[in-house]
Chain A
Amino acid sequence: MAGGGVTDIVAELREILAEATGRTELAGVGEQVPLFGAGVGLDSLTGTLLLREVHRRFGVDVAGEDLNLDALATLGTLAAFIAEHTA
């Protein structure tokens, strides 16, 4: 998938993230902000909602393919992972 594809995926992930966390300000979160820890504060509840929605919309089972969930480092890494697995 081309670079434009990843940008589109990031935009869609921002929406999903804002929805899963109930925090609308996350609709503008940077592509390289860590999802775990202070920045976004992804936890097991919001993380599960995010992964479920990614599976539903993109057909990519991140947890099934990435044991360490490294794809969840940032929205950028998650988008790249999705692009790679839908290519």
Chain B
Amino acid sequence: MMIKCVIWDLDNTMLSGVYLESVPEPPPPDPAMVAAAAELAGRGIIHAIASRNPPEAAQYAEKATGLDFAAIECGWDRKSDAVRRIVADLCVAPDAVAFVDDDLYERAEVSFRVPEALVLSPEDMADAVGWPEFSPPVVTAEARRRGEMYAERRLRQEEARAFGGSRDEFLRYCGTEVSIGVAAPADVPRLHELSMRTHQFNSAGRSLTEAELSALTSSATHRVAAVRLRDRFGDDGLVGGCVIEAAGDGWTVPLLMMSCRATGRGVIEALLAWLARSAAEAGAVTLSVPCLAGPRNVPLRLALAGSGFRAAEGGTPDEPVVTFSRALDGPLPELPDWASAA
């Protein structure tokens, strides 16, 4: 399993000392740990903090290390609870997480309560940089900027909490821009990466190789769409896409996917509205999305239900692939004003 996120303890791990006991100056960062974390960030692996300290310790660590942290949990409850909250917040799977702590008790507690996580001492971590779990085969431009994008996400969320209005008002206030267009050959590596990394928003529950995606982009019977997202907090780049198969009077979408970093930002409904409008324009009368419906992609089913899709007759939770479809002869969903077709 590839590690997507490393959760760091601060005292005697990311910092070379104990924050609250170091006077008058807080302890400097541990150079070996900072170097390891920076190397991993360059490979698209994100970082988080779980520390028994006041929040100022994390602010200090962020500044002193120059690293981007996607999530910060400072407090005095169990480390395993902090790990669980980070996993939920960043929507990574627990087995895609590594936890680094110098304290044997904390490592044992996290190992016991989050058995899926890879638990490491700082010494292990220095070595683990060379392990296959930390070496993704493809590192796209989006991946290299991932740490920064997650740090931007944290700022956006802080503002959203203070913002009074509805989600749509917040999206407009942020200057959200979703652009949907035909995928170019240069988009293929990132689309492949998305097909491997997405779960909550992956209709097929499977990935496509770069060769398969390349073939689809030049196929006469298929189209591949790429979705980009940015706002005034930052540019998230290519966050989603889909494969479209036009046959007879129907459009079928064998794969629909979106990065869960883009959740709550009006991307999936924009893509579904764009699909319905494009299909209708091309003369199709139905739009279908076959889904491997499971507990992991409930967010996608929510989006489909919210956009007027219905599961085919006979679909039951026991039947793995269920086709969700909608007719295109009635009123079509409007493309949200933050979205544009490129």
A residues near B, CB below 8 A?
21-23, 36-37, 41-48, 51, 63-65, 67-70, 72
B178 at the interface (CB under 8 A from A): no
Chain A min CB distance to B290 (Å): 13
List the B side residues contacting A36 at CB < 8 Å. Answer: 305-306
Q: Known contacts A23-B166, A36-B306: does B311 contact A47 (CB below 8 Å)?
A: no
- Contact B317 A64, beta carbon cutoff 8 Å: yes
Are B264's CB and A45's CB within 8 A? yes
Encode contact with A along B146-164: 1 for CB under 8 Å, 0 otherwise.
0000000000000011000
Which residues of the partner chain A approach B315 to less than 8 Å between Cβ atoms?
67
Interface size of B in residues (CB-CB distance below 8 Å): 27
Q: Can you sample 10 A-B contacts with CB below 8 Å? A: A21-B167, A36-B305, A44-B264, A44-B306, A63-B301, A64-B317, A67-B301, A67-B311, A67-B322, A69-B302
The reply to whether A67 and B302 contact each other, CB–CB distance below 8 Å, is no
One of A42, A46, A51 near B298 (C-beta < 8 A): A51
Task: Give Cα distance in the complex from A39 to B167, angstroms.
Answer: 12
User: Within the assembled complex, what's the spacing in Å between the Cα atoms of A42 and B307?
Assistant: 11
Cβ < 8 Å to A, chain B residues 288-338 = 293, 295, 298-303, 305-306, 310-311, 315-317, 322
B263 within 8 A of A: yes
B295 and A64 form a contact (CB under 8 A): yes
B residues whose Cβ falls under 8 Å from a Cβ of A:
160-161, 166-168, 201, 263-264, 266, 268-269, 293, 295, 298-303, 305-306, 310-311, 315-317, 322
Secondary structure of the A contact surface, majority rule: helix
A67 touches B303 (CB 8 A): no
Contacts of A48 in B (CB 8 A): 298-299, 302
Partner of A42, one of B168, B306, B317: B306
B293:A44 contact, CB within 8 angstroms? no
Which of B161, B293, B299, B306 has most A Cβ within 10 Å? B306
**B306, A47: Cβ atoms under 8 Å?**
yes
